[in-house]
Amino acid sequence: MDEELDITALVEKYEQMRALGKKMYLDADEFALLVDYYNSVGDIEEADRLIEDGLKMHPGSPELMIQNAKKLVYSSMYEEADAYLQHISDDGNIDLPLLKVETLLHLERNEEASKLINEVISADIPEDDFYTFITEVGYLYNDVDMFDRAIHFLEESLKIDDANPDALIDLAYAYEMKNDFEKAIEFNNKLLDIDPYSFEGWVNIGKLHSMNEEYDKSVDAFDFALTINEGDISTMKMKALSLYLNDNVEEAIRIFEECLKESPDDESLYDSLYEGYEVMEQYDEMLKIVKRKEEKFGPKGILAKKAHVYIEKQDFTRAIEIFGQIPEEERNTYDYYMLEGEIAFYRGDLQESEAAYMKAALESPDNENVVDRLANVSVAREKYDQAVEYLEQLLELDPDYPTAKSRLALIRFEIGTKEPFDKIMEQFSDDELRELLILIMNDPATDYSTLNREKILIRLNEARENRVLFKNIKY
């Protein structure tokens, strides 16, 4: 409290002298206190002026030189900061090695940074400085996306203080970036133990449960967040997305519509509703959303959206008509090339269709929808090896992509080699294998429900060897 009174009195005195246009003598410590104060209130210009004036009065002050080095680091002038830091004498201020570590990490001199960290940790420094150092190092490693190192130091810091919310937040973030959502959820829950009514905490838990495909828990977390901050549009959107991903599309649409009433200028909401109505095959509603979006934001991209709706409705005559009206400046786009591919496929021009999808792939690399279409075209052109490559790529992008495994299995039947066939069969559950056998055998009179996995695989392999597949179904 005394320190707060001291800084308050110092700031008042300094601002009075500034208002009167007078200069006042300050020692280096007072300059440093004022710099910290003005940085904390966001007055960076005043803080920089104090650093400059302070160094004129006290050119060799390590504290003020450290403040100047911080300014260089915060401005991402790492080369300049590295050179400047070499001239600052070590007076035991823990900020000095931290600034050096930060600079080295951003210059990708990671071994030097690690060596310096080990030197500081091994030195005989006060316990408070040790805790501050390892905690800040954890934050610094997070900043440069070295998440394993960040986790190591932050978990060590929690052994000293397990209720530091900043350390818990950064640990949860590091685990999230490593796709270890269970650990991220664990540390976010510890934050909620400290502050059970943290709106941000509940929102983060909701997002993490959603990324972990625990959609019921995600919705519950968002609901709790909304009891704390009722009507928060961002949270409502995330809740709607979780409902959408949990196949509760109708409720998701209701919430998106509610959000749109409150936030009609949010363009993403129109697109979310468009996708929701597409899943429900409510094409008239899709067209209404397109019209509403056009009225709000203008005609750009609208014709492509309309053409897509008519393709979904299988009204290719209308789709082709609208497709031809798309202006030249909107033709070198992902949406345009996808439409071009669909229309060419419908017309039976498979080469043109494949070329269009390849252009779409250039506009949107690793897009699952493009890879899916390229696989279809490859099969239609009887380029089965190429289709296999696309389907395997699709499964790498999304192991649960609808029908990808079964389509790959069907192609393995056509290619007829056992080893790759066995490999794809391993990815099927027992129920999926049974469904595949029913599809391939096309024998409604036979009951396959009693067959175990081993017997199903034997029957499937026999079908492959006997080329049953293309006798019974058309791909």
**Residue partners of 457: CB distance under 8 A and separation at least 6:** 425, 433
Residue that wins the pLDDT comparison between 410 and 256: 256
Most confident of 322-336, 376-390, 393-407, 457-471: 322-336
pLDDT of residue 306: 96
- Answer yes or no: is pLDDT of 472 > 50: no
Burial code of 370-393, b = ≥16 C-beta within 10 A, e = fewer?
bbbbbbbbbbeeebbebbbebbbb
Q: Compute the average pLDDT of residues 422-433.
A: 78
Identify whether the C-beta of residue 29 lies closer than 8 Å to the C-beta of residue 45: no
Higher-pLDDT residue of 470 and 442 is: 442
Q: How confident is the model at residue 331 (pLDDT cuts 50, 70, 90)?
A: very high
Least confident of 65-74, 167-176, 213-222: 65-74
CB 198 within 8 A of CB 188: no
Angle, helix 127-143 to helix 110-122, in steps of 10 degrees: 160
User: Using CA atoms, how far apart are residues 61 and 41, in angstroms rounded to an integer?
Assistant: 24
Which band of pLDDT confidence, cut at 50, 70 and 90, is reported for residue 442? low
High-pLDDT (> 90) share of the chain, %: 63
pLDDT at 1: 34
Q: Determine how many CB atoms are found less than 10 A away from the CB of residue 302.
A: 18
Helices 404-415 and 430-441: crossing angle, nearest 10°? 50
pLDDT at 2 over 50: no
Q: How far is CA 362 from the centre of its chain?
A: 21
pLDDT at 342 over 50: yes
- Residue 427 — pLDDT band, cuts 50, 70, 90? confident
pLDDT at 22: 78
Q: Does the structure show a pLDDT above 80 at 255? A: yes
pLDDT attached to residue 32? 86
pLDDT of residue 87: 87
Question: Mean pLDDT across the stretch 11-20?
Answer: 83
- What pLDDT band is residue 40 in, cutting at 50, 70 and 90? confident
Q: How confident is the model at residue 36 (pLDDT cuts 50, 70, 90)?
A: confident
Give the least confident one: 8-17, 169-178, 223-232: 8-17
Averaged pLDDT of the chain:
89
DSSP state, residue 89: -
Q: Does 62 or 332 have the greater pLDDT score?
A: 332
Domains and CATH numbers, the chain: 347-402 (1.25.40.10), 404-475 (no CATH)
pLDDT higher at 170 or 41: 170
pLDDT bin (cut points 50, 70, 90) of residue 19 is confident
pLDDT at position 405: 79
Q: What's residue 419's pLDDT?
A: 66
For the cut 70, the answer to whether the pLDDT of residue 280 exceeds it is yes
Q: Is the pLDDT of residue 470 over 60?
A: no
